[in-house]
Amino acid sequence: MRRAKGKYIAYLNHDDIWLPNHLEVLVARAEEQKADFVYSIMQWVLDYAEDYADIPRFPHAPRPPEASATLHLRSIVDEIGYWKAPQETYAVPRADYFRQAQFLGKKYAFAPMLTVLKFGGTPGSYEELRKQQKYMQQVQDDPHFSNRELSQMLAHAYWKLEQPVAPGNYLRQLVEWLRRQLVKRRIDPVRLVFWQKPGRHIREWHKRHNLFQ
């Protein structure tokens, strides 16, 4: 971020994939909406559940978008500064940074196109990394890749609507509603875990992957 010279900053996590039109879509949306932050649809590719689309709803999104789906003005750095280290935040650094901007009233715009793939495997495992080569080949070979993936996720979501409602869904909806109410009042939901020290997420990550500082 210190070396950035252009108008925008975009992120790509080491194990995520941008579709070829990612930057084009986000920059066009940022210019059209005069937005400080722009994010697109991100597909979670999972090896233990059905894939799903990650689409935060602003202005009171209870969870900020993932970094790889987000682009923002370079000038944001002059106002907010840089990401904190994982040991300094109650949330993950990306969420902490994007939440600061949200509470400052920065404009978030949504680009309604699938442009990012994020791979999630079994906790403590890196098996999901094996899928990337296969998906990269599909992206290169199929010009309708994003439409096909979106259609499959839409069909699955519609199918779930017709299934009996699992008790756990009520709890998740209640938690998301509570988080949204807190965000409306500019209270970061992660700070409610007052007994936890900063760096909780990185400590848990180290533990899952059998890594120690």
Q: Which helix (H) or strand (E) holds 69?
A: none
Q: In CATH, which of 2.60.40, 3.90.550, 3.40.50, 1.10.10 is domain 8-208?
A: 3.90.550
pLDDT > 90: percent of the chain: 72
**Among the listed residues 109, 105, 134, the one whose alpha carbon sits nearest the alpha carbon of residue 45:** 134
pLDDT at 122: 62
pLDDT > 70: percent of the chain: 95
Residues in CB range of 111: below 8 A, 6 or more apart = 25, 26, 28, 29, 38, 39, 40, 41
Which tokens go with 41?
């649809």
User: pLDDT digit string (tens) for 166-181?
Assistant: 887 888 899 999 999 9
pLDDT, mean of residues 100-116: 97
User: pLDDT digit string (tens) for 3-44?
Assistant: 999 999 999 999 999 999 999 999 999 999 999 999 999 999
Question: Would you give the end-to-end CA distance of the chain in angstroms?
Answer: 26
* Mean of the per-residue pLDDT values of the chain: 91
pLDDT at 168: 79
Taking the C-alpha atoms of residue 56 and residue 45, their distance in angstroms, rounded to an integer, is: 17
Greater confidence (150 vs 122) lies with: 150
Virtual torsion, Cα 157, 163, 166, 171, nearest 10 deg: 40
Rounded to two decimals, what is the model's pTM?
A: 0.90
pLDDT at 124: 56
Q: At CA 72, angle to CA 71 and CA 76, rounded to 5?
A: 155
Greater confidence (201 vs 7) lies with: 7
Confidence tier at 123 by pLDDT (50, 70, 90): low
* Lowest mean pLDDT segment, chosen from 9-13, 73-77, 148-152, 188-192: 188-192
Which tokens go with 56?
């935060």
Q: Is 90 exceeded by the pLDDT of residue 207?
A: no
Q: Is 60 exceeded by the pLDDT of residue 213?
A: no
Q: Is 90 exceeded by the pLDDT of residue 131?
A: no
Q: Mind giving me the DSSP string for 123-169?
A: TT--GGGGHHHHHHHHHHH-TTHHHHHHHHHHHHHHHHHTSPPPHHH
Where do the structural domains in the chain lie, given as residue ranges?
8-208
Cα distances from 46 to residues 121, 123, 130, 178, in angstroms, run: 6, 11, 12, 27
